Structures are given as C-alpha cells and as structure tokens.
C-alpha cells in the first residue's frame, strides 16, 4: 500500500502545465514547492504519528491536489493573464504557490498535533516559494495570493470529501489493489 501511495505522490508531483520553451526554470521555487508535501510522506514513513492512516492520507492528498490543480489550471487557461516576464499567458493563478500551500496545509492537518512548528515550517516554505515567484518576475502578488488560497481551500475541501469516503462514520470503503481502485457503498 505504501508503494502505491508513493507512486501516486510522484504522479501528482509531475508538472501539470508545460511552461513556455524559453523558460528553463532556474529558481529554488521549482524544487521548494514540493518540500511541504514531501515532508508529509517522509515523516509518515519515519514513523511520526500523523492524523491519518496510509489509506486515508492517500485519498485525502489525491482529492486535495486534484481539486486544487483542476481549479488552478482551469483558471490559467480561462483567464490567459500574461506573466510579468512575458514568457507566456498562464500567470493567474500561480501553480507553484498552489502546490506549496496545498502541501503546507496537508502537513498542518497531519502533524500540527505533534508540534505547531511543523505547521510554521510548512507555511514558511510555501511563503518563500510565493515570494520567490514574485521576486523572479514570474508572477504578481495577486497571482501568488490566489494560488495560495486555492491550495489551502482545495486541501480543506479535499479532506472533507476524503473524510466522507474514509472517515469513521463513512458508508464507503476505498481500496487500492492489482485491479485498480475500488469504491464500495454500504446502506
């Protein structure tokens, strides 16, 4: 099961939108955006007590990122806002900020009971990503603020939906096996 979740995480971590070929990605934000969500899985694998089981974590993370990415990349293609550096028309909202803040929110939801500093670190890294996007002239402040809001709200909604599927009073069971993902409903 852990291997399936790790593969799911790697799949979700792939870039969802292609950048203009002129842009080669030279900032720390290209890597730091994944640090909060990577920390969740590293801490869970290391045995730090999280709020969720592996199954619940997988469903919640997948749902959170699917919602957040769907809204973010849908808006990018709908709005067509030009980046400050002029490389493309996919500035609003910031995908890097969405990924970083969604990860920070998952980190907070899973490990805030261990130490509040874990949440502070996650949101600190996410803020650093957003600031670097503006500093490197890839986004304006409204782009990164919208990306951050979508990441946090998408994660809150993803956990709510995921908890309906996997929570203690759930009428559903989600399973991952050799034949794929199954969903069972009890009356």
How many Cβ atoms sit within 10 Å of the Cβ of residue 16? 16
Q: How confident is the model at residue 176 (pLDDT cuts 50, 70, 90)?
A: low
Residue 84 · residue 137 · CB < 8 Å: yes
Nearby residues of 161 by Cβ (< 8 Å), 6 or more positions away: 63, 67
Whether residue 112 has pLDDT greater than 90:
yes
Quote the distance between the C-alpha of residue 155 and its chain's center.
7
Single pTM value for the model: 0.77
C-alpha closest to that of 170 among 55, 9, 91, 51 = 55
Residue 128 · residue 144 · CB < 8 Å: no
* Mean local confidence (pLDDT), 46-58: 90
Q: Within the chain, where are the H helices?
A: 2-13, 29-32, 35-45, 54-79, 95-111, 116-135, 141-166
Structure tokens at 2: 């852990």
- What's the confidence (pLDDT) of residue 12? 47
List pLDDT tens digits, range 120-172.
Answer: 999 999 999 999 989 888 898 999 999 999 999 999 999 999 888 887 555 55
Report the DSSP pairing between strands 180-185 and 172-177: antiparallel
Task: State the Cα angle at 6 between 2 and 10, rounded to 5°.
Answer: 170
Say how many Å lie between the first and final Cα of the chain, rounded: 27
Task: State the Cα angle at 16 between 108 and 68, rounded to 5°.
Answer: 40
Q: How confident is the model at residue 11 (pLDDT cuts 50, 70, 90)?
A: very low
Average pLDDT value for the chain: 82
- What's the confidence (pLDDT) of residue 14? 45
């Amino acid at each position: 099961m852990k291997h399936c979740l790790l593969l799911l995480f790697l799949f979700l971590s792939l870039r969802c939108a292609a950048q203009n070929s002129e842009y080669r990605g030279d900032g720390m934000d290209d890597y730091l955006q994944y640090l909060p969500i990577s920390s969740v899985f590293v801490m869970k694998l290391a045995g730090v007590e999280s709020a969720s089981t592996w199954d619940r974590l997988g469903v919640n993370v997948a749902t959170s990122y699917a919602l957040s990415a769907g809204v973010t990349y849908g808006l990018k293609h709908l709005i067509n806002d030009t980046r400050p550096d002029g490389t493309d028309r996919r500035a609003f909202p910031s995908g890097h900020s969405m990924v970083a803040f969604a990860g920070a929110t998952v980190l907070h939801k899973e490990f805030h009971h261990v130490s509040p500093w874990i949440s502070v670190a996650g949101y600190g890294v996410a803020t650093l990503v957003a600031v670097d996007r503006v500093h490197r002239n890839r986004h304006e402040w409204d782009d990164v603020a919208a990306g951050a809001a979508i990441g946090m709200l998408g994660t809150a909604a993803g956990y709510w939906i995921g908890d309906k599927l996997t929570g203690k009073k759930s009428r559903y069971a989600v399973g991952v096996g050799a034949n794929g993902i199954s969903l069972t409903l009890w009356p």
